[in-house]
Amino acid sequence: MNRWLWLPLMVLLSPAALAADGPAEEKSEPKVEAPAPADSESRKDVAIKEEEAEAEEEEEENKAEDVKEKSIYGPIQQRLFDQVHELELGWAYLPLDPYVKGYGVQLAYTYHFSHRLAWEMFRVGWSYNVDTKLKDKLITQASNVSPDEFPAVLFWGNSDLVLKLLYGKQTFLNRTVIHFEIFAVGGVSLVFRNPYNIFDMDFQNPRLEIGLNAGLGFRIWFNPTWSVRVDLRDTVILFCFNRADFPIKNSALLGLTLALGF
Amino acid sequence: MRRSRRRYMLILPLLCGCLWAAGSSPARAAEAEGEVLDYGKVYAIQYRAFRMNHEFAVGMTFLPMDAFYKFFAGTFHYVLHFDDLWAWENHFSFAKYLDVDTGLTAELNNRWHVSPTDTPKIDYYIDTNLMLKPLYGKMVLFDRWVIYSESYFLLGIGAIHVTSAFFPAVDVGAGMRVFLSDTISLRFEVRDYVYLEEKGVENALSFGIVFCYNGFAEDRKVIPEEEVEATAREVRP
């Protein structure tokens, strides 16, 4: 009898047991969640990573937008040739003086701030002056003309800002790519003018003058280190220090220099 | 023998130094970013965006080398472009009445009472040139605007009318064309005329800016497939 009583009891109690198992499981859940701190950390990490990724994506989008803003043609290729310091040595021709033509050498150092701006800290040069036919005629045919009356540029020193306007590349016969740059310069000039060349050692009538200069230039790169520049500049001489006068003279310079960039 | 050895001893270190300098320290930016400096090496070349056909042009030229006068000249050009490399230019420049006195005549007169009598003026010149266009490319203005350009060289013959007579001339030049559209372009050029005058050989250097119209431009836009294939074959590594 007892056996038959146990069965319904067992049947009746089993849901209770099952029900009791349920909360037991529910209670055990926190046990499963016992390593909760680590899990929450990982979730936080994931969330942070997602945020970072979103931020990166946004940055990239912004960058892309910036580039689009910068150029209507989309991204511009990175410049292949660039330099910070530039040292130049080359030839100079001063053609505008009606009495002499100057053939000289020049040395320059330029510091490049960016792709657009540079400072040509100094450009110094020396010119060997050759008399023109007009000067020869004047000295030989006119009795009242003295060679002392023709001061010509002997030394010059410039300090200029360089604005690098254009950078480009061209294919030569569809085979070789040549990189080049076009720039404008402007700054101040110190000019030493003397009627005689340096080898004559006659500095009786020198003129130390200051002026402004401006010009354009063109550069072709051979490789990342070496390039060739062609410069066309004009200097307007404004004031003479040792004579305290305002000569307002014009002196153009055509330069061809080899530049070392590093 | 000893002298020659000494010379070698001097020359060799100098030569080595030059070679070392030439091969050393490439520029900062490119190296820092780990770029491969493949300058000059061609992998692929874009097809030309602009092609010239019949070019009609007007411009302004400045001739700064004369001591007594600086000349301005109006210029007129017709250029027949045979292909992307060769063209034939016919050019006329008119400088009469457009000269500016430099003040040298007055200076000579005021300072030394000298009156120069021999100051010939360029009136006009006409020449025909072969135009070689080996360089075509693009450049970027302030890292913002892409500009297509072409460089060219000129060699020709002509005649210069100075004061009262014509003199034969030979001219050489170089320039850069900037494309503004399919039909409009600007040319910046330098030319040097060497002409045989009564007293001898004279020289006239000119700087010019030319406004060009590309006539029948659409005809040159149709590119034969054979030509495309030939170009592709040329640049294939």
Give ipTM to 2 decimals. Answer: 0.73
Handedness of CA B191, A97, A164, A224 (dihedral sign): positive
Task: Please tell me if residue A80 touches chain B, with a CB cutoff of 8 Å.
Answer: yes
User: CB–CB of A170 and B151 under 8 A?
Assistant: yes
Question: Which has more confidence, B9 or A12?
Answer: B9
| Interchain CB contact of A79 with B (< 8 Å) | yes
Angle at A214 between CA A188 and CA A162, to 5 degrees: 85
Contacts of A261 in chain B (CB under 8 A): 27
Contacts 24+ apart (CB under 8 A), B99-105: B99/B69, B99/B70, B99/B71, B99/B72, B100/B69, B100/B70, B100/B71, B100/B72, B101/B68, B101/B69, B102/A98, B102/B66, B102/B67, B102/B68, B102/B69, B102/B70, B104/A98, B104/B67, B104/B68, B105/B68
Distance (Å, rounded) from C-alpha B108 to C-alpha B112?
6
What is the helix (H) or strand (E) element at residue A154, kind and residue range? strand A152-172
Enumerate the residues of chain B whose CB falls inside 8 A of the CB of residue A260. Answer: 21
Q: What is the pLDDT of residue A180?
A: 93
Domains, chain A, with CATH or none: 85-261 (2.40.160.20)
A-chain residues near B35 (CB < 8 A): 78, 80
| Continuous segment of H or E residues that includes residue A260 | strand A249-261
Residues A37-52 as b/e (b if ≥16 CB within 10 A, e otherwise) read: eeeeeeeeeeeeeeee
Q: How far separated are the first and last CA of chain A, in Å rounded?
A: 108
**Of B100, B172, B61, B188, residue with least CA distance to A250:** B100
Collect the ranges in chain B with pLDDT lower than 70: 1-44, 220-237
Position B211 scores a pLDDT of: 97
The pLDDT assigned to B147 comes to 92
Residue B67 at interface with chain A, using a CB cutoff of 8 Å: yes
Whether residues B24 and A84 touch (CB distance < 8 A) is answered with no
Contact assignment for A138 to B114 by CB distance below 8 Å: yes
pLDDT in tens, A45-102: 777 777 777 777 777 666 555 544 455 556 667 777 888 999 999 999 999 999 999 9
**Cβ pair A169:B102 closer than 8 A:** no
Tell me the mean pLDDT in the region A154-178: 91
Task: Say whether A173 sits in a helix, a strand or coil.
Answer: coil
What element of type H or E holds A39? helix A36-70
CA–CA separation, A176 and B82 (whole Å): 22
3-class state of residue A135 by DSSP:
helix
Name the average pLDDT for chain A: 81
CB neighbours of residue A75 within 10 Å: 12
The whole model's pTM is what? 0.72
> Which chain A residues touch B41 with a CB distance below 8 Å?
177
